[in-house]
Amino acid sequence: MVDKVMYPQPILPVGTSRPEAKPQKPDQGPQVPFKDLLEAQIASGGVKFSSHAQQRMEVRNIRLTGAELAKISSAVDKAAQKGARDSLIMMNNLAFVVSVKNKTVITAMDDVSMKEHVFTNIDSAVIV
């Protein structure tokens, strides 16, 4: 049988306490700008953008506001209610091809890049 050896607590002068470890802050990682967090929150409730769509939006200088993102999300929800799979969403002078099932924008076009006005691989269109 093994007897446990008990180590007594150190004797300290009256009025002092044991030195305690300082509470450490959890690792917060890299700081993310508030704007990016807000946009991520808006997008998480609505549609996502594929890397291809993000590249197209950057090249074509397409910037969306929170209200416009909400309109696109609403249009995707309406298309889903009708059973759409891949939909064209027209908003102002912009066009978005969206995978309704994944709620993901596949590509984005402005009026200049829609010259031919031919869209393929879609089964529905929503005009906002």
pLDDT confidence tier of residue 119, bands split at 50, 70 and 90: confident
- Domain range summary for the chain, segments of one domain joined by +: 47-127
For the chain, give the number of residues. 128
74-112 pLDDT tens trace: 999 999 999 999 999 999 899 999 999 999 999 999 988
pLDDT at 33: 74
Q: Are 110 and 94 in contact (CB under 8 A)?
A: yes
Pairing of strands 86-91, 124-127: parallel
pLDDT confidence tier of residue 59, bands split at 50, 70 and 90: very high
CA separation for the pair 6, 106 (Å, rounded): 67
Q: Return the DSSP state at 123.
A: S
Q: Which CATH architecture has domain 47-127?
A: 2-Layer Sandwich (3.30)
